[in-house]
Structure 1
Amino acid sequence: MLEGLFVLFAYLAGSVSSAIIVCRIMGLPDPREQGSGNPGATNVMRIGGKKAAGITLLGDMLKGLLPVYLAKILGMPVDALALIGLAAFLGHLYPVFFGFKGGKGVATSVGVLLGFSWALGFAVIATWLLIYKISKISSLSALIASSLSSAYAWYIVESPGLVGSCVLMTVLLLWRHKSNIQRLLAGEES
């Protein structure tokens, strides 16, 4: 019962759009109507600068981290943690509060991974930073870091449930980035 409530709580937490809230509070345009139209930290950076993007990034990470971390503190089983993390991620992608049109999920997935294991989350962050330093392309960095998250999870957490959750998040993240992937392949991604 408690595990089911936590899955619902995680989905609802994930459904809260940090980008939309930050933009409203800071008097910025709605990120769904400006820039790329994506309610995420990268688009908020385009329309509002580093401070707004940083707050958005932190908010998106926390809504992935907190439900998983709280469930972990309460001693819920690993398979429940996997479902709770996936629910928070799905809430970000398909938020009930915003017509099921959400962001691409990078920051929220990192928050979920940090909740699963600090080492796992930091391995993905370090990969993103390394690829970004080399390429200067945020989407490429996110795609590579996310794609490696399942392999990292296999070695770091050794839980089939958590690895499965990582695989599902990666597949959905790649799907949400299909336009970025097309631009990368065409050499047009900024």
Structure 2
Amino acid sequence: MNPLALAVAVLLAYLLGSLSFAVIVSRAFGLADPRSYGSKNPGATNVLRSGSKPAAIATLLLDAFKGALPVLLVRAFGTRLGLGADTQAAEATVALAAFAGHLWPVFFGFKGGKGVATAAGALLALNPLLGLATLASFALIVAFFRYVSLASIVAAAFAPFYQLLIWGMGPLVPAIVAMSLLLVWKHGPNIRKLLDGSENKLGQKSAAAAAPTRRPTR
């Protein structure tokens, strides 16, 4: 494997991950900055609290896309760029880099989101069946309990076990474990809210989510 090619791929994946689409989409839709209301998390769930479903869906899809794109590009072009005949290790590395970019975005003061959609996109690209199994676990918890944070934590905890039990050890496992641990860690405040009963449920609108009103022009 060419170390320079891998370093460039990792850097580009991190920079792509650093695009905080919750903020970018909210600006495009004329909404308040998602870092200013609700959970103050720049993610699709918090954008949904603004009351704009299209903005939340756009954020979700774009965040997932930025997790999947680096993996797919390495798979398509990695061999000819010197990333090895089997590019799985490189794919896992760039997936983790994009995820890290979402958590600590260089373009937004290193203050990012929790990475649920980006991790989902990365898993779907790395191993589509694993991604679908993880999303099914997420959807099941959301359907029964209506807590996105709880569903995210449960899905993150199960993802490495699915990979190990069904596909065994391999180059994907370290990256999947790292993403899962980071995702659970980023949900620390949500865990405390779940325990004290103050966590918001899916679709609950924040009173402070409306865009700032402008003074009427004369």
Deviation at 1:152, TM superposition (A): 1.4
Task: Please tell me the residue identity of whatever aligns with 1:148.
Answer: F
CA distance in 1, matches of 2:36, 2:145: 28
Q: Which among 133, 136, 140 is matched to residue 130 of structure 1? A: 140
Aligned-partner SS, 1:91: helix
Partner residue of 1:92? 102
Corresponding position: 1:115 with 2:151: no
Partner residue of 2:113? 103
TM, length-normalised to structure 2: 0.83
Matched positions, count? 190
User: For residues 144-155 of structure 1, what are the structure 2 equivalents within 5 Å?
Assistant: 144-155=154-165
Corresponding position: 1:60 with 2:70: no
Aligned-partner SS, 1:189: coil
Task: Please tell me the residue identity of whatever aligns with 1:153.
Answer: Q
Partner residue of 2:45? 42
Task: Please tell me the residue identity of whatever aligns with 2:178.
Answer: L
TM, length-normalised to structure 1: 0.95
Aligned-partner SS, 1:8: helix
Partner residue of 1:166? 176
Contact kept, 8 Å, 1:41 with 1:53, in 2: the verdict is: yes
Contact kept, 8 Å, 1:63 with 1:88, in 2: the verdict is: yes
CA deviations 1:118-144 (Å, max 9, x no partner) are 111111111111111111111111110
Deviation at 1:157, TM superposition (A): 4.3
Q: Which has the higher contact order (CA 8 A, sep 6+)?
A: 2
Partner residue of 1:71? 74
Contact kept, 8 Å, 2:134 with 2:155, in 1: the verdict is: yes
CA distance in 1, matches of 2:14, 2:165: 27
| RMSD (Å), alpha carbons | 1.3
For structure 2, list consecutive stretches of 5 or more residues without a partner in the other structure.
201-218
132-141 or 152-161, which moves further after superposition? 152-161
Task: Please tell me the residue identity of whatever aligns with 1:105.
Answer: G
Task: Please tell me the residue identity of whatever aligns with 1:104.
Answer: K
Mark the CA change 1:41 to 1:185 in structure 2 (over 3 Å): closer, same or farther.
same
Aligned-partner SS, 1:47: coil
Q: Greater helix percent: which structure?
A: 1
Partner residue of 1:184? 194
